[in-house]
Amino acid sequence: MPKISIIVPVYNAENYLSKCVRSVLSQTFSDFELLLINDGSTDGSSTICQEYKNTDTRVRFFNKENGGVSSARNVGLCNARGEWITFIDSDDYVDNDYLENMINKSHGDFVASHMIAEGWKEWVDIPLPDCEWNNSQMVSFIERLLPRMNFMVCKLFRLSIIKSNKLRFNENLAYGEDTLFIIDYLKYAKSVATISSASYHYNYYNMGSLSKKKVDWDKISNTIDLLCESIQKLKTEFSCDSCYFSQFSLINIYVSNYFQSLRDSNNFMKIYKALKTVNKNKNVRLLFRGHTDFPKSRQRVFFDFLMTCRCHIVCSAILYYI
């Protein structure tokens, strides 16, 4: 059996797929299988997948009806044979030492490395620490780094943990399914490792990527509630009395992205109605009320105070004009 199973969901990625696959097949660490999961593509992606399957025995190709990235990843999990699992998006690519860097740190149950965001001008490049966290240090890892575990890529997971605990991606979520899967997985991890080096290239130039599509607030709100519920279980598993920073940081990612989409709408009444709806989520209201562990700018403190006072018209004006 291969050491690593690489799962690549594919949907209408003909412009990027060959570069992605070539970067995988040129790895210095060669003990892997590559699972290409075609999720009902309507372009030439299926043909490209078949061509690579015909030329390299490490490539396995699966065709399925379109069901979304979570369903494609689940097909990969059901068919993977490696000791370790990693995911690569079909519009991204990796340096030839990517797998070697990751597998060299695979002494525990979970490995996470840094990445390079191509074309993301807002990306703040703060590498992960080079560190190994044993079972007694998991609380520290959760409190410090859990908010940065919100990408499915740049990770190694033990397939035995996934199978024995029947972990799968939530196919009903269109937003946040990555983070939810990782949090659920970490409940069963006894030790983790993080790597500062970056050899994964995330393609932000592809604005058609699922990760960049906007969804409505009801879906975001549901994701936030599920994440908070899962974090609570994680706290219980590791007897973690407090991880407010991690919880509020994750909530803030989704809320801030939604606020940005409201700004982009350039519609005052839409913003006003949306903010009233946002305030109905109890977990988001906790974020607005603030906590000493979660830092905010002065402007954000003022805005959140207005939200707690339900001054939605003023908050709408801030988002609309500023």
For domain 4-212, give its CATH number from 3.30.1330.60, 3.10.129.10, 1.20.1730.10, 3.90.550.10.
3.90.550.10
Task: Say how far apart CA 87 and CA 70 lie, in whole Å.
Answer: 12
- Looking at the DSSP bridge assignments, the partners of residue 112 are 155, 194
Once rounded to an integer, what is the mean pLDDT over residues 294-317? 92
Indicate if the pLDDT at residue 298 is higher than 50: yes
pLDDT value of position 238 = 86
Q: What is the mean pLDDT of the chain?
A: 91
6/159 Cα distance (integer angstroms): 11
Between 37 and 294, where is the model more confident? 37
Instruction: Say if residue 211's pLDDT is above 60.
Output: no
Q: Where are the domains of the chain?
A: 4-212, 217-321
Q: How many residues does the chain have?
A: 322
Sign of CA dihedral 252, 117, 77, 186: negative
Q: Kindly report, residue by residue over 107-163, the tens digit of the pLDDT.
A: 999 999 999 988 776 666 789 999 999 988 898 898 889 988 989 999 999 999 999
pTM: 0.91
